Amino acid sequence: MWCLRPLSVLLLLSTVPTGSEVVHSMSDCSEFLLHKSPPNIPGILEDGNILDVKRYKPICQTYVDERRFVTLYDTENKIPVFSAYKYRGDGGSKPNVNWKIEPQLEDRQGDRNMGCEKRRINYSHQAQDKDYTNEENFDRGHLFPCSYAFSKDDKISTFTLTNIVPQAGTFNNGSWNRMENCIKCVMDKYCKNKNGVLEGFVVIGAQPNNNNNKLKNKVNIPKMLWSAFCCYSGEKKKWLASAHWGKNIADSASDKYMQTKTFEQLYDELGIGVFRSKYCPWKETVAGLYQRLNEANPDCKCPPSYSIRL
């Protein structure tokens, strides 16, 4: 039964995403995963199974009654483990919207028989906007970046705190941003299937720190961020893939680039197995495409040839 709420509660509810679903398993929102296969994250998600279902929650990130991407969320560290999505192109400029939270992650307390004033939500399983305010060193770092979203509504859907980690500001706006721009250019140019349809699969995640380093004594500041993509290229007539990762610290130089790595290196160094598909190349990267992309469009910001080391 609906009842009138005070203005403060209405303002709180304005930060809630419309229709997001906290589901039981990754298979419930597998349409954003290449061949519906989730990554392998040691100790968290193995062979498609979440090892601790009370702690790690899969979220079908939904906005205006449409699923936009999927996130696996860590309710203890209060950051996402990863977000995954299907890249279909960029749908325009960044929207100016409020940050959203996910009430389904929380336990609603209060006696429902005693009126709305007794109902409340204790946000103990996720970050809130106030946890990120007045922070000089850390940004709200998107995993699924707004710049990769296909439509305006897709872009709005990325502004949920379940898709955000505390990210060192110069890292977020420096080498990480250049990597995102470069891989976006790769996908725009080459990730078109035999029918000419743009399609690429991306997974971006964060590794939490284990030294109690927290934002506002609440939100885990991850030690590492990682990103991987895979797609079929009709032009190249083969599958393309690459991975990137970096420590979540301030960039050591204003022109720093992230090194492009293979899926094999991602597995060997971080233990992460992405895109469990026989098609994605295990020992190849797309670094050989960078020079041509930079020559065609300097805004791609791919590493110059002299900085590419495998």
Structural domains in the chain? 7-307 (3.40.570.10)
Residues 6+ apart with CB under 8 A from 304: 257, 290, 291, 294
User: Which residues in 182-213 are b (16+ Cβ under 10 Å) and which e?
Assistant: bbbbbbbbbbbeeeeebbbbbbbbbbbeeeee
CB 302 within 8 A of CB 280: no
pLDDT of 267: 97
Q: In the prediction, which pLDDT does 109 show?
A: 46
Buried b (16+ CB within 10 A) or exposed e, 34-72: beebbbbbeebbeebebeeeeebbbbbbbbeeebbbbbb
- Could you give the CA distance from residue 244 to residue 149 in angstroms, rounded to a whole number? 20
pTM of the full predicted structure? 0.89
Residue 231 CA, chain-centre distance (Å), reads 18
Q: What's the CA gap between 252 and 213, in Å, rounded?
A: 21
pLDDT, position 205: 98
Q: Residue 1: its pLDDT value, please?
A: 27
Q: Report the chain (310 residues): mean pLDDT per 10 consecutive residues.
A: 34 47 91 95 96 96 95 97 96 88 75 44 88 93 96 96 97 97 97 92 97 93 98 95 98 95 97 90 96 94 69
